[in-house]
Structure 1
Amino acid sequence: MNTDTDGSPQEITSLVGREVYSNNGVFVGEVEDVRLDLDAETVTGLALSELNDELFAGRVSRGQGVMLPYRWVRAVGDVILINDVIERLKDDDPDSDREEAVA
């Protein structure tokens, strides 16, 4: 079960449809589905659709989505805030050992 920012439990299905923004206020996408670890009973990823075209241009074809690791999530409320996605996506260094959103 997932918890809201105040620590209260919430239904996993309530994440679907929420907008996702970077901590800098940039719209990233909308939650279409969640990836779960059933053994640990935790959310491990967010499948996003309705992506920010400017942010994902050249990385994801139109109509495709991305899967973000749930550990990038910093706050869940009316919207979901994530850290570092803008910097991670703009970092085009191929020798970098960073993680990247998966198309």
Structure 2
Amino acid sequence: MNAAPEEITSLVGREVYSNNGVFVGEIEDVRLDLDAQAVTGLALAELNHELFAGRVDGNTGVIVPYRWVRAVGDVVLINDVIERLDTGSDESEAEAELEV
């Protein structure tokens, strides 16, 4: 049974968490590929300051690739790769993907 499609704008305002339950940020906007008619990224604001300390200032958001999204419901779950920014492991992949 397929769920009814939702408006893309319904993503705006939802909180984003890692698979491990760590708050990442809140969706402020979405990045679209109009030719492919697909969402390619989520623009986050209200960021978890501990995760992004030293990488973004208080007025800057980030865009995470949509392929990191694992589930969309009342909140959005993304891969734990975002947490690796904080620990320093696998930083090259995460920083290459994360747009500040």
TM-score normalized with structure 2 length: 0.87
Aligned position for 1:50: 46
CA distance in 2, matches of 1:73, 1:19: 12
Instruction: Indicate the residue corresponding to 1:17 in structure 2.
Output: 13
Q: Distance in 2 between matches of 1:73 and 1:82?
A: 4
CA RMSD, 1 decimal: 1.8
- Which contiguous aligned blocks of 4+ residues in structure 1 show a shift greater than 3 angstroms? 91-94
Q: Indicate the residue corresponding to 2:93 in structure 1.
A: 98
Matches within 5 A, 1:1-103: 7-84=3-80, 85-87=82-84, 89-90=85-86, 92=88, 97-100=92-95, 101-103=98-100
Q: What letter corresponds to residue 54 of structure 1 in structure 2?
A: E
Local SS of the residue matching 1:9: coil
> 1:3 maps to which residue?
none
1:42-62 Cα distance to aligned partner (Å, 9 max, x none): 000000000001111001011
Q: Where does structure 1 lack aligned partners over 5 or more consecutive residues?
A: 1-5
Rate the CA distance shift 1:92–1:29 in 2: closer, same or farther, 3 A: same
What is the one-letter code of the residue matched to 1:98?
E
For residues 52 and 20 of structure 1, the distance between their equivalents in structure 2, rounded to whole angstroms, comes to 10
Equivalent pairs: percent with the same residue?
68
1:8 Cα deviation after fit: 3.6
* Cα contact 2:50–2:86 (8 A) shared by 1: no
Tell me the TM-score normalised to structure 1 length: 0.84
